[in-house]
Amino acid sequence: MLEDEGYTVRIAGDGEIALAKVADWEPDVLITDVKMPALGGIELMEQLRQRFPDMAVVIMTAFGSVEGAVKAMHLGADDYLSKPVHFPQLLVVLRRVLQHRALQKEARALREALREEGEEDGEQRTVVIGQSKAFRELLELVGQVADSPVPVLLLGETGSGKQFLARLLHEWSPRKRANFVVIKCGALDGPAFERELFGVEENGAVLSEGRLGEAAGGTLLLDDVTELPARVQERLLLLLQDRTFTRVGGSASCTADVRIVTATNKDFDLAMREGVVREELAYRLNVVTLRTPPLRERREDVPLLAMHFLRRFSAQAGKSLLGFSDRALGILLDCGWPGNIRQLEHTVERAVVMSRGNEVEPRDLPPELAARAGGVDEPPEIPGSTLRELERYAILRTLEHVGGSTSKAAKMLGISPRKIQYRLNEYRSTRQSGVPVVVQGPRTK
């Protein structure tokens, strides 16, 4: 049955035989009974995990069901099944653990590939997550310009990661041990912004170093640069020209050893043509331009980012969520994400709060998200399908939704658990045997 679903399968009669069968073959997932002759399932899992740390493990048990399953999970199993094993439930669990392991492996490999020099010294670093072509091309550009002190202009939609990119420029540069400072250009009026940026001096005494002083030797991000007060633009232009400035109320010239990075979600060229940003200043700020792609242009990064946020918010909430169900992940992938990464982050945070099981389900996502995604899990064509086909679809989808529980599915469908068991027996072409099974990922899916 698993081969019919596109998996490559190897079967062994006990744990010792299983160890011999995978000597030259790396499995994606082990499905094993607990009690077996020669070598039990827990011992088999522990020995195989030493050789294949990325292998997923599903334990089958009928011995002290809950207690044994909890013990297996504590020892490293990804999931468990109660015997007798029903094939639809097995498929749900198999897809879930393979998906979760794949996301973990991809995220870990990406972090290793992009790990910065000096990360081992215990410094906190920005986590870089993404594998799409657009994101990798952007990272290459960041690597090329990070060492240079030239100003960089960051363009992109709201929530697409401009501040993240600015921090990456700082951390990949020789200035990484100094401060990274952010100031929002539209947060204060002209005089207040001037004091905030350049600092304040009175009668020769420095009352405030300002953000420039705070960023000495490091990087200063001017966010929403098209909102920069007009009276500050001239002073900033002088700063970029000769690297000197005076504090508000002072007369002494100060040297500014700081890299200037600016960001905006507006049309920067239009702002320059309309005089919102002085033309000469615009040319000084726009030495190098980097554009952050919207999330809809890097959809393959959605699962990795979602898992990253899930781990963070799960830890904060004291939960142990394993991942996203197939249907929930499908909704995330189908969404257009007008709010980009920031919207995805808030969506996952809400899902963690709302979740009641081991993984995020569609019911945990904002209702408007599922509605906007649309087309997910459409039922068989009506008219055009038989009642038996419709019934099969309803039973299997409901079982998937409740994690394989026949009693919960029966309650939702308004039928007896016995009828579901009867139908499942019809759907299965053969019975499962209580032996270890090594399964490699689908060939065609």
- For range 355-376, the mean pLDDT: 72
Structure confidence at residue 57 (pLDDT):
87
- Which of 1-5, 118-122, 350-354, 403-407 comes out lowest in average pLDDT? 118-122
Specify the pLDDT at position 155: 96
Question: What is the model's pLDDT at position 18?
Answer: 84
Which candidate, 216, 221, 208, places its Cα nearest to that of 248?
A: 208
Q: Which residue has the higher pLDDT, 419 or 406?
A: 419
pLDDT at position 72: 66
**Of 80-84, 109-113, 139-143, 406-410, where does the model show the most confidence?**
139-143
Per-residue burial over 186-225, b if 16 or more Cβ lie within 10 Å, else e, is: eebeeeebbbbbbbbbeeeebebbbbbbbbbebbbbbbbb
pLDDT at 376 over 50: no
Residue 157 has pLDDT above 90, yes or no: yes
Residues 6+ apart with CB under 8 A from 41: 15, 32, 33, 34, 35, 59, 60, 61, 72, 436
pLDDT of the residue at 96? 80
Amino acid (one-letter) located at 418? R
* Of residues 262 and 102, more confidently modeled: 262
Four-point Cα dihedral 239, 245, 247, 253, nearest 10: 180
Q: Where are the domains of the chain?
A: 1-127+437-445, 133-292, 296-373
Residue 150: predicted pLDDT: 93
Task: Say what the pLDDT of residue 440 is.
Answer: 59
Model confidence band, residue 115 (pLDDT cutoffs 50, 70, 90): very low
Lowest mean per-residue pLDDT among 124-133, 210-219, 412-421: 124-133
- Provide DSSP, 248-261: BT--S-EE---EEE
SS3 222: strand
Domains 1-127+437-445 and 133-292 share a fold: yes
**CA-to-CA dists, residue 15 to 51, 59, 63, 177, angstroms:** 15, 13, 18, 52
Which range, 18-22, 138-142, 259-263, has the best average confidence (pLDDT)? 259-263
Average pLDDT over residues 102-123: 48
The number of beta carbons lying within 10 Å of the beta carbon of residue 360 is 28
Average pLDDT over residues 250-265: 92
pLDDT surpassing 90 at residue 91: no
Options 2.60.120.10, 2.60.40.420, 3.40.50.1110, 3.40.50.300; CATH of 133-292: 3.40.50.300
- Element housing 262 (H / E): strand 259-264
The rounded radius of gyration (Å) of the Cα atoms in the chain is: 29
The pLDDT of residue 374: 40
Q: Which residues pair with 262 in a beta bridge?
A: 153, 222
pLDDT digits (tens, 9 = 90+) for 23-57: 667 788 888 888 887 788 888 888 888 888 778 88
Q: Residues 347-357: what's their mean pLDDT? A: 92
Q: How confident is the model at residue 158 (pLDDT cuts 50, 70, 90)?
A: very high
The confidence score (pLDDT) of residue 396 equals 75
222-255 pLDDT tens trace: 999 999 988 899 999 999 998 999 999 888 888 8
Among 116-120, 121-125, 130-134, the range scoring the smallest mean pLDDT is 116-120
As given in the structure block, the two tokens for residue 429 are 């072409």
| Greater pLDDT, 109 or 306 | 306
Side-chain half-sphere exposure of 95, counting CA atoms within 13 A:
19
At residue 138, the pLDDT reads 92
The pLDDT mean for the chain works out to: 81
Average pLDDT over residues 353-365: 88
CB 114, CB 139: distance < 8 Å? yes
pLDDT at 66: 55
Instruction: Tell me the CATH number of domain 296-373, given options 3.40.50.1370, 3.40.50.620, 1.10.8.60, 1.20.120.1770.
Output: 1.10.8.60
What homologous superfamily is domain 1-127+437-445 in, according to CATH?
Response regulator (3.40.50.2300)
**What is the band of 320 on the pLDDT scale with cuts at 50, 70, 90?**
confident
Side-chain half-sphere CA neighbours of 75 within 13 A: 21
Per-residue pLDDT reduced to its tens digit, 182-201 = 999 988 888 899 999 999 99
